[in-house]
Amino acid sequence: MRLTVWLGSHIRVPHLTFEFGTLPDIFSYLDYIPRTDLLTDLDGLGVVCSASRLSPIQT
């Protein structure tokens, strides 16, 4: 089973995906779907990192 939360275009946070399954073993999966290409959009990278509590790469 998959649940995907799509937010409006005026909100600058990643979309959210949650999956749950039982075959062959019970598993769950949670992921953020970025709205922009994170390799070229450094502001977007900061949003994703702050939402996931990760530290952005320092250059």
Give residue 24's pLDDT.
Answer: 86
Say if CB 16 and CB 29 are below 8 A apart.
no
Is residue 57 assigned to a domain?
no
Is residue 59 assigned to a domain?
no
Domains in the chain: how many in total?
Answer: 1
Give residue 48's pLDDT.
Answer: 63
Is residue 46 assigned to a domain?
yes
* Best CA proximity match to 3, nearest among 51, 49, 15, 12: 15
Along the 59 residues of the chain, how does pLDDT read in single tens digits? 888 888 887 877 778 889 999 888 898 988 878 777 777 877 767 766 666 665 555 55
Give residue 33's pLDDT.
Answer: 80
Query: Which residue's structure tokens are 């749950």?
Result: 20
Is residue 47 assigned to a domain?
yes
Domain, as residue range, for 34: 2-52
Is residue 58 assigned to a domain?
no
